[in-house]
Structure 1
Amino acid sequence: MNTDSMMMGLMGGFGLIWASGLLWVLTRWSASEQLGSNPAAGIRTVATTASSEAWAAGHQAALPWARRIGVFGMILGVALVTTAFLPVAGGSESQVPHPLSVAFFAVGYGGLLLGCVPLVRTANKAARQAQPQR
């Protein structure tokens, strides 16, 4: 079995599952005010950290995006883990990971990162609307 392909599948897959799940859980906790504004976790922008109301409103609005990204990333993470056990062309001496490992890795992590763009935009918009007009 190709150890490079196995490592990419296992480490990349479990990392993607963890990151996607963490994004979803932290957003949900922040939306329900179990996790208040803090210096380490959550959607931290000028708008969302302006007040506790803005924090909750921004995370509540971003929750559907976080759910989509979380489910997407976890599904691709499981698929990536399964590729660790697929044989590669050239046998165990091949230094090239399985093509599906590369594809699931790129699509999974790319989707996670690109999905954060509309998530943050949605959170910012809702957080600004939650602020009293001056």
Structure 2
Amino acid sequence: MGLVAPGLTMGILLGAIMVFGNVLSLVSVRAALSGQITPDTYGGIRTAATRSSDAAWYAAHEAAWPWARALNGAAIVFGIATMCLGLTVAPFLVCAALSAALTIAGAVAQIVVGHRAAQRV
């Protein structure tokens, strides 16, 4: 017995979740850069170093932005592909896995890069 395609509805749902989460991550970093999200709110890169001062907060998000744009942006692309590939098996699984891996890599990179940049300030 072979693998069965998840179906178009499942592909759209999974892809939409991936796209929404990654867009939210990008919006969060940009909002922190523009001052809409501050260290005393619940968004952004929240470590002891990033919340130590406004300069550290800005430095952290400025350093994390290129990583977020690259990794979360690529995850969005694969999330959109996942939405379109619900009637296939292997391409759907590859795109969904890549989107998930890039989402995790984006989150980890933002935290690590942002924290280190904040420590330097």
Q: TM-score range by the shorter chain?
A: 0.7 to 0.9
8 Å CA contact retained: 1:14, 1:81: yes
Divergent runs of 4+, >3 A: none
CA RMSD of aligned residues (A): 1.8
| Structure 2: runs of 5 or more not aligned | none
Mapped to 1, the partners of 2:32 and 2:77 lie a distance apart of 24
Larger radius of gyration: 1
Task: State the TM-score, normalizing by the size of structure 1.
Answer: 0.79
Q: Size of the alignment, in residue pairs?
A: 118
Q: Quick one: which of 36, 42, 52 aligns to 1:50?
A: 52
- Letter matched to residue 91 of structure 2: L
| Structure 1: runs of 5 or more not aligned | 89-97
Map of 1:92 onto structure 2 = none
Q: Quick one: which of 62, 65, 69 aligns to 1:63?
A: 65
Q: Aligned ranges for residues 1-134 of structure 1 at < 5 Å?
A: 4-84=6-86, 86=87, 88=88, 98-130=89-121
8 Å CA contact retained: 2:71, 2:105: no
Aligned with 2:7: secondary structure? Answer: helix
